[in-house]
Amino acid sequence: MADLPEPTIERLLQLTRVLDNCGAAVVTSAEIETRTGWSSHTIRKDISYLDGDFSTGSGYDVAALGSAVRSALGLDIKRKCCVVGLGRLGSAYLNFPAFADEGFELVAGFDSSVNRVEILRSPVPLYPAFKMGEVIVRFGIEMALLCVPAASAQAAADRLAAAGIKGIVNFAPIALELPPGISVRNVYVVDELRAISARIPIRKKENP
Amino acid sequence: MADLPEPTIERLLQLTRVLDNCGAAVVTSAEIETRTGWSSHTIRKDISYLDGDFSTGSGYDVAALGSAVRSALGLDIKRKCCVVGLGRLGSAYLNFPAFADEGFELVAGFDSSVNRVEILRSPVPLYPAFKMGEVIVRFGIEMALLCVPAASAQAAADRLAAAGIKGIVNFAPIALELPPGISVRNVYVVDELRAISARIPIRKKENP
């Protein structure tokens, strides 16, 4: 839903997980506040954007609220995805069962090595990278997991953009430059390690 | 450095990447503003926390500023890491060359299957999960990549916490509950796909 404020989108995305894991049929905004740190006021405001009736006398109906959030965010729409770059990480994601459980349909994998495409065993069809544009258009693929090395990532992203991709999960440690309208989410595990590192108190040397 | 404000830590972490990729010897705060969207005022304030002399007549010395940021964040300290859970994703990270390049030393992998530990080929030593506490203490491992299924993640995190781990990169799609002082960074690719999904404008059905 393009007209939700950006912070509301982020919170509603997290709210779906909170509701999935809350293990109760009814939840109050105070309980959501305890689990998330958002103020009850913010929670009620975010929820006011949603269509539907999910209030009960004692709180929100978890199933109905979850379904309203999913609908507002378009998460009830099945989206087709592909993996670009079939090294170790890309190959791991080819075999990731959670995609289907969550409404994402992995329909293709691409690699620049024709040899790798031919020998790799995969539950989804694999194609050489030069067929990327054609295959993405043919199947209506909307999202890509970009698992190529940093040096190839921008070129691969350009080809994805030219093929009409809507969003990219970028695992390469570079900032992609893409036309407006294409969402990029960067996932780089070294950055996560650095973020942890920066929060470990610096110890004094034992033998100065 | 424990006494930097949290948003400053986040921005300085991003700044290291901006400096790595800026391709020049000197950079101005206006150029950093263009690349990041942070105001020059914010940038100068963040940089004022750093020790060292990195101002030139025409901007910041990129190498000296980068080194001051790394030092303030403790990124110049080599940290030992382990991988917990050696399925496809965990195995992929066992073989990830970027850890060493970035100052992280991967020293152990753990899996609950003794059989898997014995047959998996790996550049780092592998251990059965029941040795986790002992090995983490013996090597001084500070960080873990938690790559186990969701159902096992909290139990594995509890064992990591008991062994004195400082931070966890959590790939399981659940919110871990951990004692204060342990940093957690959640990485879950399905959440990234959902975040992209939520930003794709909802199309009208062609045949309503």
**Structure-block tokens of residue B152:** 């096992």
Rounded Cα gap, residues B86 and B156, in angstroms: 13
At the second CATH level, the architecture of B6-72 is Orthogonal Bundle (1.10)
Higher pLDDT, A150 or B135: B135
**pLDDT band at residue B10 using 50, 70 and 90 as cut-offs:** confident
What average pLDDT does the segment A92-115 reach? 90
Does residue B53 register a pLDDT over 90?
no
Answer whether B56's CB lies under 8 Å from A53's CB: no
pLDDT tops 50 at residue B121: yes
List the single range of A37-51, A78-92, B58-72 with lowest mean pLDDT.
A37-51
CA distance B131 to chain A (A): 23
DSSP state of A124: S
A174/B21 CB distance under 8 A: yes
ipTM of the complex: 0.87
Q: What is the mean pLDDT of residues A174-197?
A: 90
Give contacts of B 39-58 with A, CB under 8 A.
Answer: none
Q: Does the structure show a pLDDT above 70 at B25?
A: yes
DSSP states along A154-208: HHHHHHHHHTT--EEEE-SSSPPP--TT-EEEE--HHHHHHHHHTTSPPPPPS--
Of residues B84 and A2, which shows the higher confidence score?
Answer: B84
Portion of chain A with pLDDT greater than 70, in percent: 96
The answer to whether the CB of B183 falls within 8 A of the CB of A201 is: no
Q: What is the pLDDT of residue A1?
A: 44
Residue A98 confidence (pLDDT) above 90? no
pLDDT in tens, B57-87: 889 999 999 999 999 999 999 999 999 999 9
Kindly list the domain boundaries of chain B, sorted by start residue: 6-72, 79-192
* Residue A65 pLDDT: 96
CB B90 within 8 A of CB B144: no
CA–CA dist A112, A117 (Å, integer): 8
pTM, 2 dp: 0.81
| Angstrom distance (rounded) from CA A147 to CA B194 | 18
A6, A142, A199, best to mutate vs chain B, most B CBs in 10 Å? A199
Which residues of chain B have a CB within 8 Å of the CB of A21?
174-175
pLDDT of B208 strictly over 50 = no
Report the candidate in B55, B46, B57, B61 with the shortest Cα–Cα distance to residue B13.
B46
Is A135 near chain B, with CB under 8 Å? no
CA distance A192 to B184: 9
Q: How many whole angstroms separate alpha carbon A175 and alpha carbon A150?
A: 10
Average pLDDT in the A2-28 region?
87
Please indicate whether, in this complex, the C-beta atoms of B196 and A169 are within 8 angstroms of each other: yes
* B35 → chain A, closest CA residue: A175
Whether residue B187 and residue A189 make contact (CB cut-off 8 A), yes or no, is yes
* Cβ–Cβ < 8 Å for B128, B155: no
Q: At what angle do helices A40-48 and A29-36 cross, to 10 degrees?
A: 110
B2 touches chain A (CB under 8 A): yes
Q: Out of 3.40.50.2000, 3.30.1330.90, 3.40.50.720, 3.40.50.300, select the CATH number for domain B79-192.
A: 3.40.50.720
User: Do the bridges between strand A143-146 and strand A126-128 make them parallel or antiparallel, or are there none, so unpaired?
Assistant: unpaired
d(CA A60, CA B45): 43
Residue B146: HSE in the Cβ half-sphere, 13 Å Cα cutoff? 33
- For residue B107, pLDDT over 60 is answered with yes
Q: What is the pLDDT of residue A182?
A: 95
For residue A54, pLDDT over 80 is answered with yes
Name the residue among A92, A174, A189 with its Cβ closest to that of B145: A189
| pLDDT, averaged across chain A | 90
Taking residues A56-62, what's their average pLDDT? 91
Q: Do B93 and A189 touch (CB under 8 A)?
A: yes
Give, in degrees to the nearest 5, the angle at Cα A57 between A53 and A63.
45
What is the residue whose two structure tokens read 């997290």? A14
How many contacts (CB atoms, under 8 Å) link A and B? 163
Q: Which pLDDT score is estimated for B47?
A: 93
- Phi, psi (deg, nearest 5) at residue A81: -130, 160
Helix, strand or coil, per DSSP, at residue A66: helix
What residue type is assigned to position B105 of the chain? E
What pLDDT band is residue B161 in, cutting at 50, 70 and 90? very high
Mean pLDDT computed over B89-111? 90
Tell which wins on pLDDT, B97 or A171. A171
B204 pLDDT band, cuts 50/70/90, is low
